[in-house]
Amino acid sequence: MIALLLLCLAVGGGIAYKVLNKPTGGELVGGNFLPEGKDAKKMSKEELEKAAQKAVDESQFTLTILPEASFPDGKSPGSIFIKNELQNAYPISVEVVEKKSGDVIYESGAIQPGEEITEGTLSKNLAKGTYEATANVSIYDPETKEFKGQTAAEMAIEVKN
């Protein structure tokens, strides 16, 4: 009787082992491997060219600043020309700094692509004379408004009276 009981336990244990340890139907691969392609397709020649041109366009920046600005006196609006070209991808702002003192003498505020300034007022009352200055052009991300970089141009500021 004990032998029969042991035989039943052995056969039942073997069957349970086989049932509970079935293979899952696929080969198990460990590690981090790139899966096979499924839905991806190659970009067309036109799509590649368009993406490349967009990257080039966004990396180029064209700025037009006349090297001379003229004001009738230190308080009145005068002639200053700054243009953010339409093809630029980024808004800018310009601070004109007088070289000798280091003072900011003009601030443009934001200039979007395709906008220009033809007239402005100095932020500091300057006496009659010609001043050497640097126009510091700050470039910003159009979506986040975060500073991206800076370039500069030399200028002469003339105050007539």
The CATH number of the domain holding residue 135 is 2.60.40.2550
Residue 92 domain-assigned (yes or no):
yes
Residue 106: beta bridge partners?
96
* Tokens linked to 69: 């600005």
Residue 34 domain-assigned (yes or no):
no
What is the span of the domain harbouring residue 144? 58-159
Residue 40 domain-assigned (yes or no):
no
Residues 113, 84 contacting (CB under 8 angstroms): yes
Residue 140 domain-assigned (yes or no):
yes
pTM of this prediction? 0.66
DSSP 8-class letter at 118: E
Residue 43 domain-assigned (yes or no):
no
d(CA 97, CA 83): 18
d(CA 151, CA 114): 18
Residue 149 domain-assigned (yes or no):
yes
Over the stretch 35-64, which tens digit does the pLDDT of each residue have?
777 777 888 888 877 877 776 566 677 889
Question: Residue 72, SS3?
Answer: coil
pLDDT lower than 70: segments of the chain = 1-32, 55-59
pLDDT score at 54: 73
Residue 41 domain-assigned (yes or no):
no
**Side chain identity at 52, as an amino acid letter?**
A
Residue 97 domain-assigned (yes or no):
yes
Number of domains in the chain: 1
